[in-house]
Amino acid sequence: MSLLSVKDLSYVYSQGTPFEHKAVDNVSFEVERGDFIGIIGHTGSGKSTLVQMLNGLLKPSDGAIMLDGVNIWDKPKEIRRIRFKVGLVFQYPEYQLFEETVEKDIAFGPGNMGLNEDEIKQRVLSAAKFVDLKEELLPKSPFDLSGGEKRRAAIAGVIAMDPDILILDEPCAGLDP
């Protein structure tokens, strides 16, 4: 069984209005544990819409997203739990930052998972190290960081939740090589 299976997925913006626009049309694919998948396409081709459906930020107009063999929309009130398993770093991850300190920002997701303080602290330090974010930056405001440091902090916040699937929506856009 695939870790993630997408079957006949479609998404229509402003459905039933004169502004109706089909952003994703009948997409199917499967992801096995350990796979690295790249999705390429022109600006406006629906890539970001697609990845936002994969972790339940958007509900598909048609089709199904199966995580470990279960449709993620079978229990809509539990969709938040899917976001712990399918981590999403937005195209401009620095816009994901909102807490008073970098440490609190990275700890936000693990805190919402109901983990104890020791586990949260360990995950914050581990995630910061993973993205090469210096420990002395943790007590600083995320808004005082450079652009690259903000990206690292946002990625660390998703990594700290230890998701089964990590989705990066162009996290290097606008960065120097």
Predicted confidence (pLDDT) per residue in 30-87, tens digit: 999 999 999 988 988 999 999 999 999 999 999 999 999 999 999 999 999 999 999 9
Domain count, the chain: 2
In a domain, 84, yes or no: no
Contact 9, 24 (CB under 8 A): yes
Terminal Cα distance for the chain, rounded? 37
Helix axes 102-112, 117-130, angle to 10 degrees: 120
Say if residue 106 is in the same domain as residue 135. yes
CA distance 82 to 58: 12
Can you say how many angstroms the Cα of residue 56 is from the centroid of all Cα atoms in its chain? 10
Enclosing domain of residue 10: 4-74
pTM (predicted TM-score): 0.85
In a domain, 146, yes or no: yes
Q: Where are the beta strands (DSSP E) in 85-149?
A: 86-89
Q: Which residues pair with 71 in a beta bridge?
A: 66
